[in-house]
Amino acid sequence: MLDKILGENPDVRRLQSSTASALAQVGISANLATAAALAAGIGAGIAFAAKSAGWGILLLAISAVLDALDGTLARERGQPTLLGGISDLVADRVVESAVIIGIAWPYPALYLSALILVASWYVNITVFLAVGAALERRGPKLIDYPPGILERTEALIFFVMLGAIQSVPFLHPLGPLLCYAMVALEVATAAQRFRFGWRMLKREAS
């Protein structure tokens, strides 16, 4: 809601445009702004985890400003691309994940509520992507996922294994290890699919 309100405000748009022009003049591209926003966001998560809330908020603000400018930079320089859009979308999700993990990390009382919050993001982003795919639907399936290490069957196997482990008290220490292993595979799958999309779009652009 606020994105829409701010995006339609002429004063905000003028400020974005002038700032983007200034950044372009010193050689900062849209992709570089996206990368810098990602780095600042991850840094914010680390700062929050270290209980340095001031630094966390500052770095998060820097990340937000750069994220608001990368699209403007691309449009005003005539360089908006699908690859840039994908990079921006992925970077935003990484920053959000890093920040919520960083904030919750030192405070076990936040673990459950943070987990439920992340679950709501998971549902929300699925709706977002599904609606977008439906509006651009080309094939028989709503979303044609590129191949990856983890798919629906692997997720179901993980749930069965984790549920079985947690039902046996002396196996409880294995639960977090299994979760971290799944996280590593999820990251690998995301990287694999991102690379697949990048290569396909590069091929179409050439």
d(C-alpha 180, C-alpha 138), whole Å: 36
d(C-alpha 187, C-alpha 196), whole Å: 14
Tokens of 64: 């937000």
pTM over the 0.85 mark: no
* pLDDT (tens place) for every residue of the chain, 206 residues total: 655 666 666 766 666 666 666 666 766 777 888 899 999 999 999 999 999 999 999 999 999 888 888 777 777 666 667 777 888 888 988 999 999 999 999 999 889 988 988 888 888 787 777 776 666 766 555 556 666 787 767 877 887 898 888 888 898 889 889 988 988 988 888 888 788 877 777 777 66
User: Under 8 Å CB-to-CB from 31, ≥6 apart: which residues?
Assistant: 70, 84, 87
